[in-house]
Amino acid sequence: MKKIIKICLLIFPIIIFLFLLKLPWIGEVSQKTTVYFLNVGQGDACFIRTSSGQNILIDGGPDERVLYELGKILPWWEREIDLMILTHPHDDHVAGLIKILDKYHVGKVLYNGIVSGSPTYEAFVKKIHDENISTIIITQVQKIRLDNECSLDLIYPRFDISNQENKNLNNTSIVSRLDCINQDFLFMGDAEKEVEEELLASQEEISADILKVGHHGSETASAEDFLSRVSPRTAIISVGAENSFGLPDLQIIRRLERLGIEVRRTDQERTMIYKIEGLNN
């Protein structure tokens, strides 16, 4: 009898542990490539989990809220970000990435290398160098093959802007397109109409099913001819509730709706999730 009790005492904790791993609040990771538009308040943060298990984070929002959102997605034992992308140096995109660097092991960091007087951005650059994290400064259009179903196409900037100054940092934003077999996503960062015009004039593919709207739905972005070329089914606006900037701009909302584009907002729906049906799903 005592032997049975001892065995039960040994097995019971293991059963409880395995049960806890199944609970949704611990973190559930889909086997499908999944895109998350994270609710980080007035800022941007998008997370891509590929079917092969790669973790890609585009921007980190203005503070530590990105940690909470990632904690709802990834299991507690998984602390790996394979690729971190900073679109541009504004605090509402970069500040949360510093928090991520504190808590996660980051494989590579990709950014544009632009000069900025922001103390937050300078702290970010110093941290990635102090921790000897591999860095990639984008100098041209390039394709990152993720698996046999998806690639991440970096389509702007189209030339080297590192170590330069630019009065409008929004227009230094890295623009990327997740190109998958059955669904495409266009991530605009804070790029404005000038960048949209350059993309329209280029030969790059910019059509997408899901558009992460540029500059939080500001009137400085989302020109009608650009939206028509992208022709998205859905437009995602990452924005904070009752923000002091009055975003998204009502004119942009009406333009999107007039073009028959579904509008979804993080201030209204919080984190939004898109699972991609691939070849193996």
Interval 33-68: pLDDT, tens? 999 999 999 999 999 999 999 999 999 999 999 999
Which pLDDT does position 202 carry in this prediction?
95
What's the rounded mean pLDDT across residues 22-37?
66
pLDDT classification of 279: cutoffs 50, 70, 90: low
How many Cβ atoms from other residues are within 10 Å of residue 29's Cβ?
Answer: 13
> 145 is written with which tokens?
């093959």
pLDDT per residue as tens digits for the range 94-131 = 999 999 999 999 999 999 999 998 999 999 999 999 99
Using alpha carbons, select from 88, 97, 107 the residue that is nearest to residue 64.
97
Using alpha carbons, select from 107, 61, 85, 68 the residue that is nearest to residue 175.
85
Is the pLDDT at 25 greater than 70, yes or no?
no
Between 24 and 127, residue with greater pLDDT: 127
Sheet hosting strand 234-237, strand order edge to edge: 142-145, 150-156, 175-180, 184-187, 210-212, 234-237, 262-265
Reduce the secondary structure of 225-244 to three states and give it as a string. HHHHHHCCCEEEECCCCCCC
pLDDT classification of 14: cutoffs 50, 70, 90: low
Between 203 and 268, residue with greater pLDDT: 268
pTM flag (> 0.85): yes
Domains of the chain and any CATH numbers: 26-275 (3.60.15.10)
pLDDT per residue as tens digits for the range 209-258 = 999 999 999 999 999 999 999 999 999 999 999 999 999 999 999 999 99
Which pLDDT does position 150 carry in this prediction?
95
Distance between CA atoms of residues 33 and 7, nearest Å: 41
Cα pseudo-dihedral 56, 234, 42, 125, rounded to 10: 30
Which pLDDT does position 27 carry in this prediction?
45
pLDDT per residue as tens digits for the range 146-184 = 998 999 999 999 999 999 999 999 999 999 999 998 899
Which pLDDT does position 277 carry in this prediction?
78
How long a stretch of residues is the chain?
A: 281
Instruction: For residue 173, give the DSSP letter.
Output: P
53 φψ region: left (φ > 0), alpha (ψ -120 to 50), beta (else): left
Distance between CA atoms of residues 172 and 121, nearest Å: 14
Which pLDDT does position 6 carry in this prediction?
56
Residue 102, SS3?
helix
Which pLDDT does position 82 carry in this prediction?
98
């201030």: which residue's tokens?
A: 267
